[in-house]
Chain A
């Protein structure tokens, strides 16, 4: 299976069929974080996911990254049903999906060059990756990936010398070295200034297009979503509120999507009706924070 997909350099298709999923740390009885999700993404397509905080954007990406197992429904990547695969094949398939979490996953004491080259791990044998730790084997590849994100001078620095925005871009540069056919990028702009945000979005979309990689990107910046992505999915309370070409997303829909944003999400904070005393709220909040 792996050899066949590597031979045809085409993006993965994604199929989500009647998905219901719960957050992995949810208490029993908590509402699902995603429900009734059914949609398809074609190979090479570029999709933005928007919606208020807590709408399920990260869970939606985790579903396709094979890191959230749905309670119901099927996840198809490149036509294969994820959770019917035996674990070694599932892990091999994970190597063909690059998932960039919102907070950059970089050990502070690691050097930038190593962090970026870590994107290649799924395509390397253990032996190759160990040799590369002793002497970085393809530093020029890491340098190219960093240059795309305007970071080439940071190649030999340690991660803890970088600013938050630089770390975020290092995390994205890693994607350029991964053998993935599907990029799942979670809020790539959260630590970036507007100029860098433009750069990052254009690098991601252009590179994905040039390599024919499918790109799904969650964003808080609605203007970027509408201008850079041909298709926009709006998520609200774990459901798909709309799934439209960017041109058809009008202000009224956006207003409706974000209408609930100002109201704090009290439904899952207060499980019972009578516990409205400040002490009870404080206690519950503490329980949640643990």
Chain B
């Protein structure tokens, strides 16, 4: 790094500097082909023709529709959307919690004294792959599959969200558990507690706030996700939005977008309230 320097003064240059510069440049070099591949040209937005089209599309959104009958329908479909997201999350949790408990390294008894034994290591690795499989298939694809199996409607959405989110939750939960302070949990295991006892008396109280906030954030994502799934016939607000878009009724779309903002805002409030309660 600094061998070209011939001065006798003590080396005060940050030894990490060269590495930092290298990785910044490397990052830019990797980013360049990505920008080329995605034809990233933001200036086309400012082209007068494109600008006119964009403005006309956005102009259709005004005014939002606020007729009583439509609002009633939107309220019902919003409720269905929240229900799809909530049921999907519940299904995801039912799958993700056991996956997390089995996959996290912290609860390994054999790893208490150095390396984890071969069999538990293999099981944990296998579960990691199961979670990758679950989340690598987008919920849209799961929904298309389930719409064929269980027919049009919310059930397909619930199943799609449940499977994809189980993989995501399981992965992030085990990472949250592994990156937190593990002293309390490891001591419980060393003193003869079982894995689940160590989880409930050590790991869970240590990480409850992070786990809650991530879970509520995922619930918020599930609400948004159920909108996308609605476009392939999985029910809820998304399906209505699809209908309105097909009929070029921008006002109705705008109303539903406002409802989405409201829902996401509510999820945010819920998350901070829960975290305040746990803190």
Show the binding face of A for B, using Cβ within 8 Å: 24, 65-69, 87, 91-99, 101, 103, 105-110, 114, 118-119, 121-122, 124, 126, 129-130, 133, 178, 180, 277-279, 282-283, 286
Whether A122 contacts B193 in the complex (CB less than 8 A), given A279-B2, A283-B15, comes out as yes
Q: Is the interface on chain B under 10, 10 to 19, 20 to 34, or 35 or more residues? A: 20 to 34
B4 to chain A, nearest CB (A): 14
**Are A118 and B192 touching (Cβ within 8 A)?**
no
CA distance A90 to B274 in the complex (A): 40
Q: Which residue of A lies closest to B10 (CB)?
A: A278
**Are A91 and B114 touching (Cβ within 8 A)?**
no
**Are B202 and A67 touching (Cβ within 8 A)?**
no
**Are A24 and B113 touching (Cβ within 8 A)?**
yes
A247 to chain B, nearest CB (A): 33
Whether A97 contacts B192 in the complex (CB less than 8 A), given A278-B10, A279-B2, comes out as yes
29 pairs across A/B with beta carbons < 8 Å? A24-B114, A65-B190, A67-B112, A68-B113, A69-B114, A91-B109, A91-B194, A93-B192, A95-B191, A95-B193, A99-B190, A101-B183, A105-B187, A107-B181, A107-B205, A109-B209, A114-B201, A118-B202, A119-B191, A121-B194, A121-B197, A122-B191, A124-B197, A126-B196, A129-B200, A178-B191, A277-B11, A279-B10, A286-B15
Q: Which residue of A lies closest to B198 (CB)?
A: A121
Contacts of B198 in A (CB 8 A): 121
Show the binding face of B for A, using Cβ within 8 Å: 2, 10-11, 15, 109-110, 112-114, 117, 181, 183-184, 186-194, 196-198, 200-202, 205-206, 208-209, 278-279
The 9 closest A-B pairs by CB, nearest first: A95-B192, A105-B187, A122-B192, A279-B11, A94-B192, A121-B193, A107-B205, A107-B206, A110-B205
Q: Which residue of A lies closest to B181 (CB)?
A: A107
Instruction: Among A87, A133, A282, A286, point to the contact of B109 (Cβ < 8 A).
Output: A87
B53 to chain A, nearest CB (A): 54
Q: Which residue of A lies closest to B114 (CB)?
A: A24
**Are B205 and A109 touching (Cβ within 8 A)?**
yes
Question: Which of A68, A103, A105, A126 lies at the interface centre, i.e. has the most chain B CB atoms within 10 A of its CB?
Answer: A105
Q: Which residue of A lies closest to B201 (CB)?
A: A118
Contacts of A24 in B (CB 8 A): 113-114
CA distance A279 to B10 in the complex (A): 8
Contacts of B209 in A (CB 8 A): 109
Q: Which residue of A lies closest to B208 (CB)?
A: A109
Contacts of A65 in B (CB 8 A): 190
Contacts of B188 in A (CB 8 A): 105, 118, 121
CA distance A248 to B187 in the complex (A): 35
CA distance A108 to B184 in the complex (A): 10
**Are B109 and A92 touching (Cβ within 8 A)?**
no
CA distance A279 to B196 in the complex (A): 47
Contacts of A96 in B (CB 8 A): 192
Q: Which residue of A lies closest to B110 (CB)?
A: A87
CA distance A108 to B190 in the complex (A): 19
Instruction: Among B181, B183, B187, point to the contact of A99 (Cβ < 8 A).
Output: B187
Question: Which of B191, B193, B201, B208 lies at the interface centre, i.e. has the most chain A CB atoms within 10 A of its CB?
Answer: B191
Contacts of B189 in A (CB 8 A): 94
Q: Which residue of A lies closest to B186 (CB)?
A: A105
